[in-house]
Every structure is written in structure tokens, then in C-alpha cells.
């Protein structure tokens, strides 16, 4: 009932405002003059025309308090005016919308009389009055709205904020506090439903936690179960390599070792990426001499396809273990997708030491470059090559966490990956 009364009052005030605006917009200025007074003035001027044009013109005047006018002779010269600020030419009188009449003496037109039109001032006064009425209506409307807003705040906004706080508690994981609200309130009827929702969410979260724990246990078990036989295969192949009596057999064993290393890398990456989006991995940057990069790069280049250049002497800030994983992933990708020699360039640029690693493969499509550092994303040229699409994703994460960056691009002669390592003191 209150809402209906409020809306009815607002509609009435709005209708009044609209009516006043329409009246103001379509009101026209009344240009009509009092015909009796006009004729009286014209007859008086015509009767005293000789006086106006004679030497005593300056003393002539007629008592017409309700009209202001100007008398012009045939050449447009002002003979008489009731006040100085009136129209004194035909053009100005037309613009001002004054009344212009001929003066006739003995049947001949001898001049003009311009009678001032004061309806504009009246129109302005009436307009001001209507504007004041409109403003008063608007102020009343605002007062009514403010009062109703207070009512809405009490019956709707405050209870809604209670619901908002309840939702925030649920989103924050606090599912133990029930929603306390007056059931007579507009939202009070939903209290029981919200409590049921809270209880169900609590059950669902507990089930999700159990499922995540099971998943982690399963991934850890599978990784261990797979890595163990792979390590055994690699160990047997290494023994076979040492005992092989011919080069062909030795090459076969070496291929087995390489495949075992590839499988081990894939399993490690998969296990790493499963650990809560890498958030459980420990990354501990420390001061590290740049000369250690040589050993890391030689370790990653297990096929000996690269020549390690001279390394600038500087102090780096990085996690040696994670940086080694980055280089391992980059070289493994070059071996897998390019199979060419690898060119390594190391240079200091600003406050970073950049390690450029380039192969001479076909690279990838330009539109695919931004996607390669995403999880499980691979280039279209790798459809028939084994891989999980995790190497660059993990490497990019490691570099960012160490304060560096990983850049990829298609170089002039192949695919290039740049690991930008921060210098000590820049993190």
C-alpha cells in the first residue's frame, strides 16, 4: 500500500511538471496593444503635428502613461520619444515586434509612430513564475524520494547487506555460521533455504577436498610406479652400453637411454603441473655466479648439439634446480621438434642476463606463439610427435617466479627461446 501511494504521488508531481513545461514551451507573447489608447495617441500626435515639427517641439508632450512611443517624421528623424531606450528606427521596431502606424495629416502621410511592445517583459515574468513552480515541484519530489529511500533502506537494503555478508562468509569458506534474519522481513522467508544451501555447500566442499586428496595420491603413485621401471630400463641400457662389443649395438642402447630420459621428463612435468597449478612447488631464488650456467647448459645438451659460448661474469638471482629444469625443457623441445644443431648466445641486456637458445627447425605459426606457454598447448606441427605440452608452461612459470621471463619467437633461421635471468639485487 505504501509503495502504491508513493508511486501515485510521484506520478501526480511528474504530471504537474510536464504540464507546466508544456505551457511554458507553447506560450506565445501577446503582441496586441490596447486599441483605444493607440488611437488616442495617434490622434493626439496628428493634431499637434505642427507643434512637433515647429520650434516648440521640445516642449510638446501627451499624457499617455500606459504607452511608450517614438514619433518619426517622413525622413526617419526622431521628433519625440517618451523615454530614451525605445526603438528609434523601423528596422529596430520590427525586430522588437513593436507596433508601427502611419501618421496622416490632411490626407497625407507625414511620418510614423512606433508604439513600444512590453509584452516580452510580461512573458518573462510569467515564465519565471512557472519555473519557480516547477522547481518547487521537483524539490517536493526529491523530498518524497529521500523519504522513500529511507524506507527502502530499512526494509530492503539492510536485510540485503545481511545476505551479502552471509554470501561473503560462504565464499570465504566459513560454512558454520547460520543466517540470522527476521522471518517477517521481505527476505526472511529465504532464511531456511539459504541455510539448506549452506549445509549442502559444506558437504560438497568436504567431498571436493577428499577427491583432490585422492587425485594427488593417485598422481604421486602413478608417477612413482612409472618412474621406477623407467629408471631400471635406463640402468640396464647403461650397463649394456658399457658391455657392448660393437658400435651398432651400443647405438641401440644409447637410443634406449634417450627414450627413457624423455619418458622421465614427461612424467616429471605431468606430476609437476598437477600440484595445484604449480603452487605447491618450492622456488627459492639465491645469488648464483653466472659461470654455473655453463654446467647447466652442458647437462641439458645431452645430445651434444650445441656449443656453449663464453658467459659474461656477473651475479645472478635464480633457483639453480628450477633453472636447470628450464634449460632441460628447452633443449628437449629442440631435440624433439627440430632435430638440428642448436645455437646458444649469452649476453647481458640491462639488468638481465639473456640466454638465447635457437634451433634450425621450421618453427611454429605466428598466431600460435602466444599459446605455446599455456598448459597442454602445442603447435600444429607437433601433432604426430609425442608430448604433453607442459615444458614451456612449466618453464615460463619458473622464470616468472624467479623474477625473470621466458620469451619465444620465430627467428630468422628457426625457433628461438630466450630465458631472461635477473641479476642479483633486482628482485
More confident residue, 124 or 259: 259
Q: Are 127 and 24 in contact (CB under 8 A)?
A: yes
Question: What sign does the dihedral 89-90-94-97 (CA atoms) show?
Answer: positive
Q: Are 336 and 351 in contact (CB under 8 A)?
A: no
**Residue 247 lies inside a defined structural domain of this protein:** yes
Calpha distance 373→18 (Å, rounded): 62
Is the domain of 295 the same as that of 256? Answer: no
Is the domain of 216 the same as that of 268? Answer: yes
Range of the domain at 94: 35-52+63-116
SS3 content of the chain, % helix, strand, coil (to 5): 55, 15, 30
Is the domain of 327 the same as that of 388? Answer: yes
Average pLDDT over residues 34-63: 73
Is the domain of 226 the same as that of 276? Answer: yes
Distances (CA, A) of 74 to 45, 69, 100, 105, 196: 14, 16, 13, 12, 99
Q: Are 351 and 426 in contact (CB under 8 A)?
A: yes
More confident residue, 401 or 259: 401
Question: What sign does the dihedral 41-46-48-50 (CA atoms) show?
Answer: positive
Calpha distance 275→264 (Å, rounded): 17
Average pLDDT over residues 70-90: 84
**Residue 192 lies inside a defined structural domain of this protein:** no
Calpha distance 250→242 (Å, rounded): 8
Q: Which residues contact 239 (CB under 8 A, 6 or more apart)?
A: none
> Does pTM top 0.85 for this prediction?
no
pLDDT at 222: 66
pLDDT digits (tens, 9 = 90+) for 178-234: 666 665 566 666 666 777 777 788 788 788 877 776 776 666 566 656 766 787 788
Average pLDDT over residues 299-303: 84
pLDDT at 2: 56
Which of the listed residues 73, 89, 116 is the one where a domain comes to its end? 116
Is the domain of 290 the same as that of 374? Answer: yes
**Residue 352 lies inside a defined structural domain of this protein:** yes
pLDDT at 31: 46
Which of the listed residues 99, 116, 133 is the one where a domain comes to its end? 116
pLDDT at 290: 94
**Residue 190 lies inside a defined structural domain of this protein:** no
**Residue 6 lies inside a defined structural domain of this protein:** no
Calpha distance 371→378 (Å, rounded): 8
pLDDT at 343: 94
Is the domain of 273 the same as that of 371? Answer: no
The mean pLDDT of the chain is: 78
Is the domain of 82 the same as that of 110? Answer: yes
Which of the listed residues 281, 310, 336 is the one where a domain comes to its end? 281
Calpha distance 345→370 (Å, rounded): 23
**Residue 385 lies inside a defined structural domain of this protein:** yes
Is the domain of 242 the same as that of 361? Answer: no
Is the domain of 270 the same as that of 293? Answer: no
Is the domain of 332 the same as that of 374? Answer: yes
Residue 260 has pLDDT above 70, yes or no: yes
Least confident range from 85-89, 170-174, 197-201, 207-211: namely 170-174
Look at the chain and report how many structural domains it folds into.
3
Torsion of CA 369, 374, 378, 380, to 10 degrees: -50
Torsion of CA 122, 128, 129, 130, to 10 degrees: 110
**Residue 341 lies inside a defined structural domain of this protein:** yes
Q: Are 131 and 123 in contact (CB under 8 A)?
A: no
pLDDT digits (tens, 9 = 90+) for 52-72: 777 555 556 655 556 788 888
Is the domain of 324 the same as that of 382? Answer: yes
**Residue 173 lies inside a defined structural domain of this protein:** no
Is the domain of 358 the same as that of 407? Answer: yes
pLDDT at 386: 62
- Helix, strand, or coil (residue 106): coil
pLDDT digits (tens, 9 = 90+) for 8-36: 666 776 676 676 666 655 655 444 556 77
Amino acid at each position: 500500500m505504501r509503495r502504491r501511494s508513493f508511486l501515485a504521488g510521484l506520478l501526480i508531481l511528474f504530471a504537474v511538471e510536464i504540464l507546466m513545461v508544456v505551457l511554458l514551451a507553447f506560450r506565445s507573447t501577446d503582441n496586441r496593444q490596447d486599441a483605444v489608447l493607440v488611437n488616442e495617441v495617434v490622434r493626439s500626435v496628428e493634431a499637434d503635428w505642427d507643434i512637433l515639427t515647429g520650434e516648440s517641439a521640445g516642449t510638446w508632450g501627451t499624457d499617455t502613461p500606459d504607452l511608450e512611443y517614438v514619433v518619426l517624421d517622413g525622413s526617419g528623424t526622431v521628433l519625440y520619444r517618451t523615454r530614451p531606450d525605445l526603438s528609434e528606427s523601423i528596422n529596430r521596431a520590427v525586430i522588437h515586434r513593436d507596433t508601427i502606424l502611419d501618421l496622416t495629416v490632411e490626407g497625407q502621410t507625414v511620418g510614423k509612430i512606433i508604439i513600444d511592445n512590453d509584452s516580452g517583459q510580461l512573458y518573462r515574468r510569467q515564465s519565471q513564475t512557472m519555473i519557480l513552480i516547477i522547481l518547487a515541484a521537483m524539490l517536493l519530489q526529491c523530498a518524497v524520494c529521500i523519504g522513500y529511500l529511507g524506507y527502502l533502506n530499512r526494509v530492503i537494503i539492510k536485510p540485503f547487506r545481511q545476505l551479502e555478508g552471509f554470501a561473503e562468509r560462504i565464499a570465504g569458506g566459513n560454512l558454520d555460521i547460520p543466517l540470522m534474519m527476521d522471518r517477517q522481513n521481505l527476505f526472511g522467508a529465504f532464511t531456511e533455504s539459504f541455510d539448506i544451501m549452506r549445509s549442502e555447500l559444506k558437504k560438497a566442499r568436504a567431498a571436493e577436498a577428499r577427491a583432490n586428496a585422492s587425485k594427488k595420491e593417485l598422481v604421486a603413485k602413478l608417477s612413482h610406479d612409472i618412474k621406477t621401471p623407467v629408471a631400471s630400463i635406463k640402468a640396464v641400457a647403461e650397463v649394456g652400453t658399457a658391455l657392448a662389443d660393437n658400435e651398432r649395438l651400443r647405438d641401440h642402447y644409447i637410443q634406449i637411454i634417450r627414450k627413457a630420459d624423455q619418458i622421465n621428463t614427461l612424467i616429471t612435468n605431468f606430476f609437476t603441473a598437477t600440484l595445484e597449478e604449480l603452487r605447491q612447488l618450492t622456488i627459492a631464488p639465491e645469488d648464483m655466479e653466472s659461470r654455473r650456467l655453463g654446467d647447466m647448459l652442458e647437462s641439458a645438451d645431452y645430445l651434444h648439439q650445441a656449443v656453449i659460448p663464453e658467459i659474461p661474469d656477473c651475479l645472478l638471482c635464480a633457483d639453480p634446480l628450477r633453472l636447470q629444469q628450464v634449460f632441460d625443457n628447452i633443449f628437449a623441445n629442440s631435440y624433439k621438434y627440430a632435430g638440428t644443431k642448436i645455437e646458444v648466445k649469452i649476453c647481458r641486456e640491462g639488468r638481465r642476463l639473456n640466454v638465447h637458445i635457437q634451433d634450425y627447425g621450421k618453427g611454429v605459426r605466428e598466431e600460435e606463439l602466444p599459446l605455446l606457454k599455456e598448459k597442454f598447448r602445442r603447435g600444429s606441427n607437433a601433432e604426430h610427435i609425442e608430448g604433453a605440452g607442459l615444458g614451456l608452461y612449466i618453464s615460463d612459470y619458473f622464470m616468472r617466479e624467479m623474477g625473470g621471463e621466458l620469451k619465444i619467437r620465430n627467428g630468422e633461421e628457426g625457433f628461438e627461446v630466450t630465458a631472461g635471468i635477473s641479476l642479483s639485487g633486482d628482485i
